[in-house]
Homo-oligomer: A and B are copies of this chain.
């Protein structure tokens, strides 16, 4: 059964003086408003969130949000897939409508991270990894550094290519009023910033972010009654890779990206060439290359060439991360996948404002851990 998206929202991303409940409610109210839906019409409510208990000592947030939004007695549930919780929420929302369990599903993803210090937040995020890896100091940023060094050397790619990802995404973020950073940077700034995990530097990493984002799903039949502008989730799939990263055959191939995008294309009946715009999970700049390749937008080891040629700029042939990406928009874990969906939806219904590109088909790739879990969603304009 085709499942439609009829509304979307996102809060300001950044260092927010608000509790997780408030952030979720802000996006929830705005998404229902965007869809023109009454709270009473909501049958299922999903909350994508990784760690509200660890960050703020508050659990049961799906129930709290159902109460705050007045959608009771709607079914409510929290969906966690670490940093791909948002994409997992899209998959659950899709399943809820496609199975007939719900005719109107609200998804709200959110995370409040600044309640903890950066060191504490790093510890919470590192709890995704295998305890033996973390014990030896191997965190997600250090995996990114190792992978970047390997990629650059093996494929003879210039260090500048990574910086260009950051520059592009910062430029896009300037036109996103919700983005954490609305500030252009240049290649020299990126290349001159402090080293975090060699060869990656400060501007190769997304920030710690508070924020929330919402999407409203219904049947295509109901969508047609309600609005002229909607999108459909035409393909979606998720996949898991090894928990222990060093057990993977090739550090430049993200198996979860390959598998989930293959499944999503098959379901949608399209090829990578049919995608007009994509939101990729650029938690680290190197990941934008790995996802371009895993999703079939570039051959292995070649994604960097497209970035150097400007093909993935907003005015290029195949724009990537028009929202600013995680890099400049920010990465509030549970919200990020939902916010990718927000950007694709807004592009498809022509409401992306100054970021608008020409697009009938969009793709979002949301990555949990270091590719441990991945969800790929294909949406099409109707």
- Which A residues form the contact surface with B (CB < 8 A)? 1, 45, 50-51, 53-54, 57-60, 62-64, 66-68, 71-82, 88, 91-92, 94-96, 98-101, 124, 127-131, 237-244, 255-256, 259, 368-369, 372-373
Contacts and interface: CB of A to CB of B under 8 A. Distances in A.
Given A95-B101, A101-B95, A372-B60, A77 B88 contact: yes
Given A58-B127, A95-B99, A77 B73 contact: no
A53 B100 CA distance: 33
A361 to B, nearest CB: 21
Question: Which of A60, A66, A238 has the most C-beta atoms of chain B within 10 angstroms of its own C-beta?
Answer: A60
Contacts of A101: 91, 94-95, 98
A256 B372 CA distance: 35
A287 B59 CA distance: 21
A155 B305 CA distance: 76
Given A75-B239, A81-B78, A241-B72, A60 B369 contact: yes
Interface of chain A: mostly helix, strand, loop or mixed: mixed
A221 B11 CA distance: 45
10 contacts: A53-B53, A53-B54, A59-B124, A60-B127, A63-B82, A63-B373, A71-B240, A72-B241, A73-B240, A76-B81
A82 B59 contact: yes
Given A53-B127, A60-B372, A240 B74 contact: yes
Nearest to A239: B73
A99 B369 CA distance: 27
B79 A79 contact: yes
Nearest to A56: B127
A316 to B, nearest CB: 31
Give the residue among A63, A68, A74, A100 with the most B Cβ atoms within 10 A. Answer: A63
A58 B243 contact: no
Of all A-B residue pairs in the complex, the 6 with the closest CB atoms, nearest first, are A98-B99, A99-B99, A75-B238, A67-B243, A60-B128, A73-B239
A36 to B, nearest CB: 23
Contact of A99 (B45, B54, B78, B94): B94
A256 B62 CA distance: 14
A77 B77 CA distance: 12
Nearest to A50: B59
Nearest to A259: B73
Nearest to A243: B67
Nearest to A49: B80
B92 A240 contact: no
B242 A72 contact: yes
Contact of A368 (B63, B68, B124): B63
Contacts of A67: 240, 242-244
